[in-house]
Structure 1
Amino acid sequence: MARTKINMVISLIKKEDTMKTKILTWNMVLASLLTMFLQSCQKNLLTLTDEDQNRSFMAVFRHQGNTGKSSDPLASQVVNTNDMYLVWNGIHGAAGYRLKMKVQSGSWDIPGDILWDTIVGPDVLKLTKIDLQYSTKHNFAIQTLSPMGEAYHSKWYGLGDGAHNDDRAEWEMGERIGIPDVVSVANVTETSMRVWFDLTVPPPNPTTPLNPSFQYEDGKFLIDEILVQPASVNRDLETKSIKLTDADRANGYVDVTGLTSNSLYVVNGLNGKVGRYWDRLYNTSMVRMRGQVGEPILIPHILDSENVWAQQNNVSRLDTILNNFLLDNTLAEGTIFMLEAGKKYYMGSNVVLAKGLTLRSNLPGTKPIVYMGLGYNETNTGSNALNFQLGRPAQAGEIGSITVGDVIFDDISFELPLAVNFFNQSLYPGKSINGNYFINQHSASMPFTCSRLETRNCNFQGMVRSWFRTQGSNRQVIENIIIDNCLFHDAGMYDTNGRGYPLITGAAVSVATNIFNNVVIKNNSFIGISWDQLVRENANLAWASSVVWNVTIENNTFLNAFSVSNGRFLIQHQNPPANSTYTVKKNLFISVKATGDNRDFYQSGMDFRTYRPGLSFDIADNYATSAKSANNAVTYYSSAEIFNNQPFSHASRGAGFNNGVLNAGGLEATKVTTGPTPIAPENLMVDPYPKGKKVGANWDTNAHLYNLNGLRYKNTPEVLNHPIYTEGIGDPRWR
């Protein structure tokens, strides 16, 4: 009917000749269209449901997100360390209020994750929920109940996530300090474990006094139960509760049997005389049972027919398989997963690394490709960029630490083909710069220990912000980080200064945190990388005696790497623990640009501020290409060494401290040399130049890209007789 009316009016317009009549007719058209629009709106108003019109108003918690006040003494807040005081606005005519609670890592949609669900009367506008899990973020939600029935209840407030902070109510409980190490676990098999308990009360410690919730008599802690509960990843398993006898306490241990192989358990010792549950517990242990590692599992390449981007790129989805492995107690920690060589896979969500595994090619030497995201997000404002996540947040009941076995990636190319950085953003109009990583630890991750994080024979492209970042206040220990024979390129440039985070980013808050226990970076190439530093940890803590840093950087090639702006120290460990060691040998540093490229290089060496007893260096045989081009037309660097800022030989912030006394080879060995006859980078390599240039203040969109095949060494007498070649300096792949 509407279309017929419009056509009639348009027909009239065509028959009129005078301007006056045309104007009159156009007014009729506009009036007609306006009438139709108002009728449509009226129809929509009239079709509102009874529930929509009479739904109760939403109650909201009083906190900064709703009041804008950061220091409101009357706001909802954590009290008494692990009690939650909640206050909300009253709604006139409400029949009552319903409140729910979960921990941050839980889901509102999973009934088992809801830890508290209660209804209070209409006059109750505040309450205190007591005895919550220490050091854990909790989320709360509230709904106004209508006297007219369920259909008229308000919508929930508080169900929002990190992307919807206005509809989110989250608080973290305080830390429980002064916890004695009473309970420990040993003799773990596939189905049993021995739980030890040392009940001897330690002598007073003025630095960390014993928490008053721990009771003892005659110098012995009181304990009456050992509780072995399944962790959240296998929550349906049976809980084992053992009431302790006097004989058990005299023995100092109990054996727990009937457990399930490959499963994760939470082990606690309890004192039932304490009223509050979370104060009954001594130190908590999380234990994974042993299991038989089976044959390697091939993940077949199966085209994801439900994803248009997957069809266009002929890729198979990977993340669901790896995340399901975490929950699968039929597969042991250490399982080897293989990808089909030469095939493409992709991640559609973050992958949690909380159970040791190996991911490798099924044909050594032929790399499969794993896209760290595929296509663009729903709003078309950026590319989908996912990360691996080392460790995981605590679920309900999990307040201890977790142990992760070896995590190994071998012979894989990890890429983000649609990554947007500061240089290439003009090629992706409307798309924001990516803030992605290869591994990004969750900020609320439980304390964890990982035995080994290793990448070997891998390529990495498109990680704009960093490669590996740790964060959060809980303890993080990685016994070994090995990066061997890997290629890093087309990564970084998070902003105009290239900043982001370092290759390996430490952010220690706990004195027991140690991710640099044994870091080995060898046989790698970093081509045009602009991340903040290679390794960084700037915390200055009273490190635990167990914390020692050992860093080895050997046989790597750094071509225009970490040099876009000043202060990109290869090693920024300002305050290392006592007895730490640093080995930096046989690395090759190259600064190179073509004629007409006016980029500057800001290569920086070390940044040490504290020299604790036992700190030592072994720095030697590091080389650089020449300071000028072969024809002397282009100056690459003008400083005495290729480092223009705090070189390894720096007297107060490097290994040159106290005239090099801490370095195995003395001061002279700390210096980066060009050899007796410097060799220009273009004489060493076939084509080392960046593809694009910087002209004035403007960067070409491909100024960070390189012809990787052009980095091969030339087969000339100058190269073959140069120490860089004869002494095996730098990444061996280019020889």
Structure 2
Amino acid sequence: MKTKIFILNLVLAGMLTMVFNGCKKEILELTDEEENRSFMAMFRQQANTGKAGDPLASQVVNTNDMYLVWNGINGASGYRIQMKTQAGSWDVPADILWDTIVGPEVLKYTKKDLQYSTKHNFAIQTLSPKGEAYHSKWYGKGDPGHNDERAEWEMGERRGIPDVVSVGGVTETSLRVYFDLTVPSGSDRTDPSKLNPSFQYENEKFLMDEILIQPASVNRDLPTKKIALTQADLDKGYVDVSGLSSNALYVVNGLNNKVVRYWDRLYNTTMVRMRGQVGAPILIPHIVDETNTWAKQHNASRLDTILNNYLFDNTLAEGTIFMLEAGKNYYLGSGVVLAKGLTLKTNTPGTKPIVFMGLGYNETGNQALAYNFQLGRPAQAGEIGSITVGDVIFDDINFEVPYAVNFFNQSLYPGKSITGNYFINQHSASMPFTCSKLEARNCNFQGMVRSWFRTQGSNRQVIENIIVEKCLFHDVGMYDVNGRGYPFITGDAKSEKTNIFNNVVIRNNSFIGMSYDQLLRENANLAWAASVVWNVTIENNTFLNAFAITNDRYLIQHMHPPANSKYTIRKNLFIAVKAAGDARALNLSGMNFRTYRPGLSFDIADNYSTSAKSANNAITYYSSAEIFTKQPFSHTGNGAGYNPGTGAGSLNVGGLEATKVITGPTPIAPENLLVDPYPKGKKVGSAWDTDAHIYNLNGLFFKNTPEVRNHPIYTKGIGDPRWR
């Protein structure tokens, strides 16, 4: 027995020796530089102190000065500080706007005169007397996923900027800069919100001695033009500028160099893109990177780099047409900035290419890669004006997110988080912008979980036209158990001049099972500028179980529209349907208006729905008088049936009755109208099938029966015509 124990002890000792030796091999020895590296200095801010409103913390002072304070490090030989705007990159030398070294005794610094209304990032490094290899790591260069390692502050707004400088006569290489130096009178002169005290004037004229035309960040290598103004220039009120580059983007400023602080010298800033000759359409060849596993697996050619490079390419005019090979697959490997008008289309009409808006998963493997288009862009250094974007058009393309995870299908992707993606998502720090047109036509969209188009941010946003025509939306939404996310088109106006609903046309589309919050939403109640009017047309669309998962999914939530706005809603088809044993509620709601300003009008007529019950009367699809379970178009308090004192429905061209969604004299059940309208999966109790949001698209065609052919839905051409 003792012999056995001895042998076991020997074996155990041997095993422990192997384990210890194995562990020794895993021990990583620090290099001399790593072991003796200086400690990291950090700016004092809430992320480090946990204190909100700390009066001793780093903070913006005097509107556009930055007070920085940091912890001292024993033995430091000094500190190096860098600065960039939020839109810049630490890896691009030209984006570093300030790079300075201070002594070891300096633990606070005020960086003065920074660009107004612009987020700035700061970084600090402890310098070691032992040399560069021993300097600390940088604090402040963390990415957006590590906010505690970032140091970012936004400068205050410069209010009361007079509208002095404007640009006209733009050609490929020249332009005319106008300036009106007349000082406003009365209270407009004494009110600092209307005229900032930094603007100097004499003899009722603003002082201006220079016109500065600088290349914007997208073409920063172009030369700057400085024009010293003569008295003759001031007398005639304009100067002509030549020798500029076609297709280039420039920042135009008028300056009064008697003012000490640079950003206070400037009057209103104007950004202008030079004209250019739009060349022949450019075919983007289908080339698969064989070294990219995901691209190879999906036989997909990368697209985002080409479209992003176009923004910086002055050899290509705004409005360039890019064509994709019909029937081929392309993909986005990063977000695409839409700050220069373009058209993206198939090279063979009727045969769609596929654009995968991301392939694969992130580094941790828990999030599907899903990139967005971004309308507008943040300001780079020196860009404090607005930008103008030409027509942005998507034509005859399938946009898909193959690995998108939503609330319903999440169980099919163990360990994956729900995808919070969009088709277009505006950056919150985007400069004020005007886009002449955003259009999607003949496109199919799948996999946008959170929203199709979302605006955000405090700056002015104007989109003169949003056109969505002949598009199909399916397998989209389901961001949470209630569907939610954001509306299909989400307004978030913070400026009274913002207007993304100037002319919205949604026509001949199908929205199949879409669960976003609403179709259209803008809740802001602002003193809208006189130029802001909303015109919305929703016509010949099919809505099948769309915006219906839970209550209050108003098709239109425009609570406080501007005066003289108009809503045209005609010939749309609404379908509510579910199979036997499906416990889902169908809760489509109509309108939510709260403020009826003068001139608001409606043109609502010929909107139909399928019947409230199944053909055999066994299943109830809806129990209200109309398919809307809450606030239908005809609602007399918050809908188009509102009574302004001249009678209910008097704001509608056809009166109150025309605002109602009707079934026709003989209601038709959805299963009698369409080949197969049912969702593939069900809700059983409180549990949803993983395919409860999926539909057989081929089953949405109309049946060829006398009941269908003789029904007003067919004879009047109601709904999306593709299904006839």
Identify the residue that residue 592 of structure 2 maps to in structure 1.
607
Deviation string, structure 1 residues 298-326 (Cα, Å, up to 9, x no partner): 11111122211111111111001000000
| Correspondence 1:675 to 2:680 | no
Distance 2:705 2:6 in 1: 88
Q: Is the 8 A contact 2:162 2:194 kept in 1?
A: no
Identify the residue that residue 675 of structure 2 maps to in structure 1.
686
Distance 1:162 1:190 in 2: 39
Identify the residue that residue 313 of structure 1 maps to in structure 2.
298
Deviation string, structure 1 residues 250-295 (Cα, Å, up to 9, x no partner): 0100001000000000000000000000000000000000000000
Taking structure 1 as reference, are residues 562 and 26 closer, same or farther at Cα in structure 2, changes over 3 Å only?
A: farther
Q: Which amino acid aligns with 1:165?
A: N
* Aligned pair partner of 1:164 in 126, 143, 146: 146
* Aligned pair partner of 1:112 in 55, 79, 94: 94
TM-superposed deviation, 1:152? 1.2
Distance 1:547 1:29 in 2: 83
| Correspondence 1:194 to 2:176 | yes
Deviation string, structure 1 residues 542-597 (Cα, Å, up to 9, x no partner): 11111111111000000000000111100000000111111111000000011111
Identify the residue that residue 437 of structure 1 maps to in structure 2.
422
* Aligned pair partner of 2:529 in 537, 544, 561: 544
Identify the residue that residue 223 of structure 1 maps to in structure 2.
208
Q: What is the aligned-residue RMSD (CA, Å)?
A: 1.2
Deviation string, structure 1 residues 432-454 (Cα, Å, up to 9, x no partner): 11000000001111100000000
Deviation string, structure 1 residues 136-168 (Cα, Å, up to 9, x no partner): 000000011111111111111111121111210
Taking structure 1 as reference, are residues 17 and 433 closer, same or farther at Cα in structure 2, changes over 3 Å only?
A: farther
TM-superposed deviation, 1:483? 0.2
Deviation string, structure 1 residues 102-139 (Cα, Å, up to 9, x no partner): 00011111111000000111110001000000010000
Identify the residue that residue 450 of structure 1 maps to in structure 2.
435
* Aligned pair partner of 2:605 in 594, 598, 620: 620
Pairing 1:357-368 to 2, within 5 Å after superposition: 357-368=342-353
Distance 1:170 1:506 in 2: 26
Distance 1:27 1:230 in 2: 74
| Correspondence 1:69 to 2:54 | no
Q: Which amino acid aligns with 1:460?
A: F
Count the aligned residue pairs: 717
Deviation string, structure 1 residues 16-57 (Cα, Å, up to 9, x no partner): 99763464245313431343145436x63xx42221121111
Q: Which amino acid aligns with 2:409?
A: N
SS of the residue corresponding to residue 232 of structure 2 reads helix
Query: Structure 1 residue runs of 4+, over 4 Å off?
Result: 16-19
TM-superposed deviation, 1:208? 3.2
Q: Which amino acid aligns with 2:477?
A: G
| Correspondence 1:399 to 2:384 | yes
| Correspondence 1:486 to 2:471 | yes
Identify the residue that residue 51 of structure 1 maps to in structure 2.
33
Distance 2:263 2:60 in 1: 16
Q: Is the 8 A contact 2:462 2:499 kept in 1?
A: yes
Q: Which amino acid aligns with 1:691?
A: K
Q: Is the 8 A contact 2:162 2:268 kept in 1?
A: yes
Deviation string, structure 1 residues 77-117 (Cα, Å, up to 9, x no partner): 00011000000000011111110000001111111100000
Deviation string, structure 1 residues 345-374 (Cα, Å, up to 9, x no partner): 000000000000000011111100000001
* Aligned pair partner of 1:213 in 198, 219, 223: 198
TM-superposed deviation, 1:423? 0.5
Distance 1:94 1:136 in 2: 32
Q: Which amino acid aligns with 1:236?
A: D
Identify the residue that residue 154 of structure 1 maps to in structure 2.
136
* Aligned pair partner of 2:698 in 709, 720, 734: 709
| Correspondence 1:128 to 2:117 | no
* Aligned pair partner of 2:281 in 275, 286, 296: 296
Distance 2:130 2:582 in 1: 74
Distance 1:19 1:307 in 2: 58
Identify the residue that residue 595 of structure 1 maps to in structure 2.
580
Identify the residue that residue 75 of structure 2 maps to in structure 1.
93
Distance 1:311 1:17 in 2: 64
Identify the residue that residue 417 of structure 1 maps to in structure 2.
402
SS of the residue corresponding to residue 235 of structure 2 reads helix
SS of the residue corresponding to residue 226 of structure 2 reads strand
Deviation string, structure 1 residues 168-212 (Cα, Å, up to 9, x no partner): 000000111100000000000000000000000122335933100
Q: Which runs of 5+ in 2 are unaligned?
A: none
Distance 1:706 1:616 in 2: 36
Distance 1:19 1:290 in 2: 93
* Aligned pair partner of 1:720 in 687, 709, 717: 709
Distance 2:652 2:413 in 1: 48
Identify the residue that residue 372 of structure 1 maps to in structure 2.
357
TM-superposed deviation, 1:390? 0.3
Deviation string, structure 1 residues 665-724 (Cα, Å, up to 9, x no partner): 111111100000000000000000001111111111100000101100011110000000
SS of the residue corresponding to residue 422 of structure 2 reads coil
Distance 1:616 1:37 in 2: 80
Distance 2:702 2:545 in 1: 17
Distance 1:166 1:30 in 2: 44
Q: Is the 8 A contact 2:159 2:192 kept in 1?
A: no
Pairing 1:237-248 to 2, within 5 Å after superposition: 237-248=222-233
Taking structure 1 as reference, are residues 704 and 17 closer, same or farther at Cα in structure 2, changes over 3 Å only?
A: farther
Identify the residue that residue 513 of structure 2 maps to in structure 1.
528
Distance 1:296 1:269 in 2: 38
Q: Is the 8 A contact 2:78 2:127 kept in 1?
A: yes
Pairing 1:489-568 to 2, within 5 Å after superposition: 489-568=474-553
Q: What is the TM-score with the length of structure 2 in the denominator?
A: 0.98
Identify the residue that residue 337 of structure 1 maps to in structure 2.
322
Distance 1:546 1:699 in 2: 47
Distance 2:467 2:446 in 1: 18
Identify the residue that residue 730 of structure 1 maps to in structure 2.
719
SS of the residue corresponding to residue 133 of structure 2 reads helix
SS of the residue corresponding to residue 70 of structure 1 reads coil
Taking structure 1 as reference, are residues 519 and 93 closer, same or farther at Cα in structure 2, changes over 3 Å only?
A: same
TM-superposed deviation, 1:376? 1.4
Q: Which amino acid aligns with 1:67?
A: T
Q: What is the TM-score with the length of structure 1 in the denominator?
A: 0.96
Q: Which amino acid aligns with 1:657?
A: Y
Distance 2:563 2:423 in 1: 31
Distance 1:293 1:35 in 2: 71
Distance 2:338 2:225 in 1: 27
| Correspondence 1:328 to 2:313 | yes
